[in-house]
Structures are given as C-alpha cells and as structure tokens.
Structure 1
Amino acid sequence: MISPARSLVGLRLGDRSVDVAVPHGTPVYDVLRATGADLDDPTLTVVDSSGQQVDIYSTTGEHLSDGAVLHVLTRPTAVRVAKGGRRDVHDPTVTRPTTSPWWLGVAGAAAVVVTATVVLGIGRGVAPATDRWILAATLLVAALALAVTPRRPGTAGSLWPTVVAALTGAAAGAATVDTGLAAAAQLLVVAALTGATVATAARWGATRRARDEAADHALILLVVLAGAALVCAGVVLMGLPPVLAAAVLLGAVPLVLRALPSMSVDVPDEQLVDVARVASSAVGVRTPEPEPLGAVNHRMVQRTVHSAERRRDVGTVVVSLVPPLTAPLVLASAEQGGLTGWASLVAVLLVALSLGLQPRTTRGAVVRWAPRVSAGVLLVELGLLGAAVGGPVALVATGTAVGVGLGVAALSLSFGRGWRSVGFSRLADGLEGLSTTLALPVSLVGAGAVEVLRLITSA
C-alpha cells in the first residue's frame, strides 16, 4: 500500500520539541491537539522560523515543507492593579483599533451610485454597445478586486467588502443589458442578480479557507442571490409574466426564515457519527480509512456556534429586505376587486403576520427585530397603495393595516409589562404555521398563476 503524502516538521512547545509527520490535508490545529497543546488558550500563537504567523485552521500538511519548525507561543498579557487591589488582566489585542478602512465607505457609496445609474438606464439608451461592455468589464474587474481583497488584521466590518463587491457586480451585470430590448426590465434584473452572485461567489472562495467571518457573510448572501437569480431567470426563460417571480420571492420569505436557523449550522457528519463504520461503498473499501476528527472541545463548539449565528443574522436581514421590494409589484399588477386583487392583499397580510409572529421564539436583537421592521414596512406600503388606488379594496386594506398595527402595538406593550398567556401562545403558533404555509400559494394566485395554468393547459 502506498503511504499517504506527508510533511516532516518540528514543533517547539515551550521547553520540549516534537517531531511529527503531518499528512497532506490535515490542518495544523489537529496536529497541535494531538500533541497536547492548550488550544483553549486565547493567547496561543503559532509562528514559523521566519517569524510569520501560521493560521492553524487553514494551514495543512501540503503547505509545510520538510524540516520546517513551528513555534507554539503565548502572547504576554499586561497585568494592572485596579482600585481596591483587584488585578485585571489586560490583553493588548482587545484594545487594538477595529475601525474599517476608510476606502470601504467611499467604495460603497460609489458602488451604490453606479448601480443606481446603470439600473435606471441613465445615458445607456443612446450609448453604443461597445461603451456598455467596456463599462461592464470595468465594473466586473472592480467587483472581483474587492472580492479577493483580504481583511487586514485588526480591522472590523468584514461584511462591507462583500456588500460592496455584490453591488459592483450587480452594476456590471446590469450594464450589459440594452434598454431597447422587449423584456429589458426582466433581463436587467436577471443580469444584476447574476453579476452580484458571481462577485459574492468570488468573495466566498477567497475567504472560506481562512475560516473568517467574511466567509459566513458571503456564503449566506451567495445562497440568497443565487436563489433569486434562478427564480427570475426561470420566469424569463419560460416566458411567464414577470410578476410571478416577485410572487414566488414574496411567498417564500416565511419558509426561508423558518428554515434559516437549521440551515446555518454546519457540523461535519464525521463529527456526529463514525462514517467509516456505518457507510461503505465499492470505492470506499479501496481507499485509506479517514482519520477521525477527534474529541469535541470548547473552542470548536464556540467557533461553530458563532459562525452559525453570523449566517443566521445576515440571512435574516437579507431575507427581510425581500418583502418590501416585491410586495408593491404584486399589489400593483393585480386586478382591483377581482380574484387576483383580493389574493394579493391576503398574501401580503399573511407574510406580514408570519414576519411578526416568527421572532417570538428567536434569540438576538437582529433576528427579532429585522422581520418585525419588514412587517411594519409591508403594512405601511399596503396602506399607502390602498389610499392611492381607492375603492373598496383600498378601504379594506387601509383598515386592516391600521388594525393589525394597533393590535401588534398593544400586544408589544403587554409583553413588555410581563404578560404571558398559554392560550395566546397556542393561537400565535397556529396563525404563524397557517400564514407560513399559505403565503406562497396565495401569492401565486395573486400574481395570476391560475390564469397562466389555464392558458398552458388549453394551448
């Protein structure tokens, strides 16, 4: 049997030295854990012979050369005596400046302005195709450059490069669309979402090996953008009315928010069960048995939980932005007083009800208030659109929005004073489940899916 590729390195652990063979694909973290290093120490640092810090999570055996020496050190901490004789341990890394680079703010503002300019089609109607493609290529290069820019140590705001890269990629995609085409609006949305997806994918690919929080932000944003792009592209390719894409995205919001917490947790199957003992295949029996991941420690659990919370928070904020953007399209395209008009009204109310009730069992300020703010914006849009259109539907919509808003405000005051009710909790659970289940089909009915199916079947 051919022995697996490995690198022979030396470890300096304080006053002792250990010679180890690191297999290719095995991170330094597992090697340190096997040699008994205290990985729970937050001041632990690993450097090579040149003094360069080594990332113990992303650096694997193939990154190390034979004969290399890794030094395991602990950063010194300053001890200061407070009033009353109490000794406080001060870590210099805690007070390290955590401000984001100033150029990210400038780049974000420029990306927003360029994206708005391109999406609105200012000046592109008379510009030749060559100029549009040059502009698109320039924006795409800028988006990819922002995506692969590493975060400097001691800086915060790892979400900003991802957002700026996505906005610049959206502008690059939108710049490729000619506004003179028949379905220019639909193509522009699809191209913008595709460009943002490409830039976000590049950002995720550049940050995932470092296991930085930027990778968590980019991953959840990539999934949301890719899903929206697929829905919009499918509607365009099948020649369906564009409002169907908005209806699908609007009705799927409660389902996505319900599934987001469980989808955010990423635990390898090898950590939960010994895969080598319970699974075998024709290829698996001929390959070397995989090395077990080892025992679970506090540092590993903490990193996994924090990563899941970051994905959940970013996903909740991004998904909560979808209803205020898609609900006006569904309401404006529906026939007032008909089946589609009433169905679109009910769909918006169902989504608002689900967004208002789901955060009752969540933890964290972001995931509790982002859906509620989105529900409040939905009710405001419903009332404004109803007042602008007029008629009985407008009267019902405005009255319902005001009534639901007053009811939510009254319940919020009651909960703030400590009032609890088992009966109300069960009623809220039933309404939440009903609204989450019915939001998508009712949204499709409001977008005219019944008429589309009738035309398809009769053709």
Structure 2
Amino acid sequence: MSSPADATIAVSVHGPAGVLDLVVPAGATSVDVAREYAQQADVSGIPLLQTALGERLNASVALADAGVQSGDVLVATTGVHRPRKVTLLEKAKNAPETPALASMIAAVAAGVAVLAGWYAARLGEDTVRTVAVGLLLGCSLLGVLPGGRHLRQRAAAAPAFAAAAALAAIYEPGAHLLPAVVGSTAIAAAVVAGIGRALGSGADEVATVWIATGLTVFACCGATALLGWDARVAWTLLLFLAMMAARFAPSLAIDVPDEALLDLERLAVTAWSARDSQRKGKRGRIVVAGEAMERLVGRASRTVTASAVAVLVVTATAAPLLLQRATIDLDRIGARCLVLFAGLSLLLAARSYRHAAARNLLRLAGLSALAWLAAFLAAGPGADQLDTFFWCAIGLGVVALAAAVATGRGWRSVWWSRRAEVAESLCGSLAFAAAVVAAGVFRRLWELTS
C-alpha cells in the first residue's frame, strides 16, 4: 500500500493565464490536469501539457508512469513545441577543443596540398593550374587570419599551402631549374609564416621555424642558381644543415628568460628583514611561477617539434635529389656516403631527445635517408654494391643486438651513452668530409691540379 504522499503529485502548471499550483492524484493523466487548469484559470478549451524540456505528455499515460514527480514544472500550451534542433554547425561550434586531432588534420591537409600543387605543376593545362594556384594561395591566407577555432594548427599548416601554390605556379621541367623552384617555394612559405606571425595567429614558435627554414633553403638554392653551380651543391648543403640542425635545435628551445625566475632574497627587503644581516654562504631561494613554466615548456615543445618536422622534410627531400643528381662515379660515392652518415647521425641524435614526438620524427628522418640510399643502391647505378651494404647492415644489427642484450639497458647506460656520443661526432665528421666530395669540390680540385 502506498502512502498518501506517494498517491498525489504537486506540480506547477505554466500557461497563458499564469502559473497554477495543483495537487493531483498520481494516476491522473495529462488531460485531467489540463482540464482542471482550464477550469480554474478560466481558459477556453483544453490546452496541451508538455514538460519543461518541450516533450509532450501522452494523454493515455498516468503522470506517475510518465516520470512526473512532485515539484516538476509543466507547460500548458495550445500547440506542441518540440525542442529546438541543433544544427551540425552549432554542434561543431560547441564541441570542445581537440588540439591533437586538429594537428593531425592540419598535417594531412598540408600533405594533400603539396600533392595537389605537384599534380597541378605537372599538368599542361593552364586553366586547371591557375585555379589550383588560386585555391591554394587563398587557403594559405585564410589559414593565418586571426580568429576562429584551432588557430594555432591552421597557422602552422598555412605555409605548406603557400609552398604548394608557388610550386604549381612556377614549376618548369628541367633538373637545372629545380633549385630555383625549391627556393621559390621555400620563400613563399616563409612569407606566409611571417604574415601569420605579424597578425598574431598564436603560433610564433612554428612560424619562426618556418621562416628560418624557408630562408635557409632559399639562400642555399638561390646562391646555387645565381652562381651557376651544379644542383647537387644545394642538396648537399641542405642535407648537411639538416643533420646539424638536429643537434643544435634544442639549444634554442631551452633558453629561459630572466623574468621567468624570481629571487626571493632580493624581493624580501622589508623593514624587518633589512635589520638582519645576511649570513655568508646562505643559498638563495629561487621560485619559478607554475604558469610561466608551463608556457615556457609549451613554447619549447612546439619549437623542438617544429624543428624536427623541418629536419624530416628537408632530409626526405634533399637525400633523393642528391643521389639522383650525382652521376659521376666520384661524386656518386661522396653522395652515398653523405646520405649514409647523415642518416646515422640523425638516428644517434634522436636518442638524446626526451620529447617523444621530436625523437620519433628524427628517427623517421634518419630512416628515410637510409631507405633512399638502399633504394638507389638497389635500382641505381652500381647495384652490385647492394650485397655489401646488405651484409654490413646485418653485421651491425647483430652487434648492436648483442651489445643491448649484454648491457641490459641499451643507450640508457652511461657507457653506451658515451660511445653513442663518440659515434655521433664521428658520423658528423665523416658526413662533412663526404659533403666535400658529394658537392664536386674534391673532383674539381683534382681536375685543376691534374
């Protein structure tokens, strides 16, 4: 048996005649309540009842079975008002921020833009080429405009659209023109990155890396084209500079400004503390603000990640161009040695990175250089050297595996870290020596003195 309190429901009915508080039986339907409201409020006709959320109450179901409880608010209306439908655009605006997903989409969009620019550049039809250039350039400018969601990710991908537009606009077939084309695409990306930074798009670190990389590529390729040098000089310089950037990029990211540190000993100069003499040898207390360090770490993380992406792109682009351009035997040996030592140096430099994304990107850069080298050894001139490269790789892998199993800690041990540091320095030195041969300087001097 239910109690009398459970047998009745107290509701407030809001309608055209005002608010009316009613106590109705739990078995009453919405029609009974609407009829009672119309009688007491002197309303012509029987209104329809719905919940505060706009859901219509079924006339054949009791209020208790419909989920109505004491204290609920019902709405009496002459028509049924359904809840307002939320459009897909409104759902997208109200969705929470997803930086990881936005970064992935921006990276995919940048890759698709480069492929579109490359496809439009190789088309002979000028109309499609012009339309592609206009669309890519418009997307790059819209990406750096301030305002909207995921501004940082859009501004980071916008220079890639500008580079693709420049590639589609000025590409001409011919190996001798390729450095000029690459340099023009790099300076276009740097200009758009500079525009985004000037507009305050919120991606200053990534824009700085875009500008530095674009100007470096433009300087190397432009000097080669203006001085009439062979194109392999530009690819040699870019590959060598990418290898060196992997080692010096972290030093730019860990620069801590002086205002980030607070010295309590200098700030705590009050009337009471000034009377006390400072004891010699007392260590000062340095306090770092939590929010300031979070901003500092975030800025450094974006700088290191953007630098690793730049190293990956430059390495994956310059390595095949250098191997393809080196046709003379002596230059070919130098180019292959440079790609080999640069790839190994990048793999060894990646172990010192504690940032997971940057470490994986540098490993991909080193593996891409070694993969291009293996492909050219298999399909390019001098394919008989593949067996030697294959057995050397297997031997080095076995030695590394045995050493890792014996130590039990791999590169984390102090002994292996020192050996890896020596190996990295040795690979860098050998890469520098191979760059002289790959660029043709050694062969040129040999021809002049012979």
More off after superposition, 236-245 vs 444-453: 444-453
Distance 1:184 1:419, change over 3 A: closer
- Tell me which residue corresponds to 1:315: 307
- Tell me which residue corresponds to 1:374: 365
Please report how far the alpha carbon of residue 363 of structure 1 lies from its aligned counterpart in structure 2 after TM superposition. 1.1
Q: Which has the higher contact order (CA 8 A, sep 6+)?
A: 1
Q: Which amino acid aligns with 2:186?
A: L
- Tell me which residue corresponds to 2:33: none
- Tell me which residue corresponds to 1:241: 230
Q: 2:340 aligns with which of 349, 353, 356?
A: 349
RMSD: 3.9
- Tell me which residue corresponds to 1:187: 180
Q: 1:139 aligns with which of 136, 139, 158?
A: 136
Question: How far apart, in 1, do the equivalents of 2:402 and 2:316 lie?
Answer: 23
Which one has the largest radius of gyration?
A: 2
Alignment check: 8 A CA contact 1:147 1:203 kept: yes
Alignment check: 8 A CA contact 1:330 1:447 kept: no
Gaps of 5+ in 2: 1-93, 263-286
- Tell me which residue corresponds to 1:303: 295
Q: 1:158 aligns with which of 152, 158, 173?
A: 152
Question: How far apart, in 1, do the equivalents of 2:438 and 2:416 lie?
Answer: 30
Question: How far apart, in 2, do the equivalents of 1:199 and 1:182 lie?
Answer: 27
Distance 1:207 1:408, change over 3 A: farther
Please report how far the alpha carbon of residue 163 of structure 1 lies from its aligned counterpart in structure 2 after TM superposition. 4.2
Alignment check: 8 A CA contact 2:120 2:132 kept: no
Please state if 1:359 is matched with 2:350: yes
Please report how far the alpha carbon of residue 170 of structure 1 lies from its aligned counterpart in structure 2 after TM superposition. 0.9
Q: Deviations over 1:406-450 (max 9, x none)?
A: 555565666775686544333221111122234234224213233
Please state if 1:253 is matched with 2:253: no
Query: Secondary structure of 1:321's partner?
Result: helix
Query: Secondary structure of 1:240's partner?
Result: coil
More off after superposition, 383-392 vs 263-272: 263-272
Distance 1:412 1:133, change over 3 A: farther
More off after superposition, 320-329 vs 406-415: 406-415
Query: Secondary structure of 2:169's partner?
Result: coil
TM-score with structure 2 length normalisation?
A: 0.62
Question: How far apart, in 2, do the equivalents of 1:225 and 1:148 lie?
Answer: 20
Q: Which amino acid aligns with 2:196?
A: R
Gaps of 5+ in 1: 1-94, 274-294
Count matched residues. Answer: 333
Distance 1:102 1:432, change over 3 A: closer
Please report how far the alpha carbon of residue 242 of structure 1 lies from its aligned counterpart in structure 2 after TM superposition. 1.0
Alignment check: 8 A CA contact 1:246 1:326 kept: yes
Alignment check: 8 A CA contact 2:347 2:366 kept: yes
Q: Which amino acid aligns with 1:116?
A: L
Q: Which amino acid aligns with 1:448?
A: G
- Tell me which residue corresponds to 2:124: 125
Alignment check: 8 A CA contact 1:203 1:218 kept: yes
Q: Which amino acid aligns with 2:318?
A: T
Q: Which amino acid aligns with 1:158?
A: R
- Tell me which residue corresponds to 2:322: 330
Please state if 1:173 is matched with 2:172: no
Distance 1:416 1:349, change over 3 A: farther
Q: Which amino acid aligns with 2:189?
A: A
- Tell me which residue corresponds to 2:50: none
1:1-400 pair list within 5 angstroms: 97-99=96-98, 112-121=111-120, 124-127=123-126, 136=133, 139-152=136-149, 155=150, 158-159=152-153, 161-177=154-170, 179=172, 183-207=176-200, 212=202, 214-268=203-257, 297-335=289-327, 338-389=329-380, 390-400=382-392
TM-score with structure 1 length normalisation?
A: 0.61
Q: Deviations over 1:202-236 (max 9, x none)?
A: 1222236xxx4x22222222212221122111111
Question: How far apart, in 2, do the equivalents of 1:394 and 1:350 lie?
Answer: 17
Distance 1:204 1:398, change over 3 A: farther
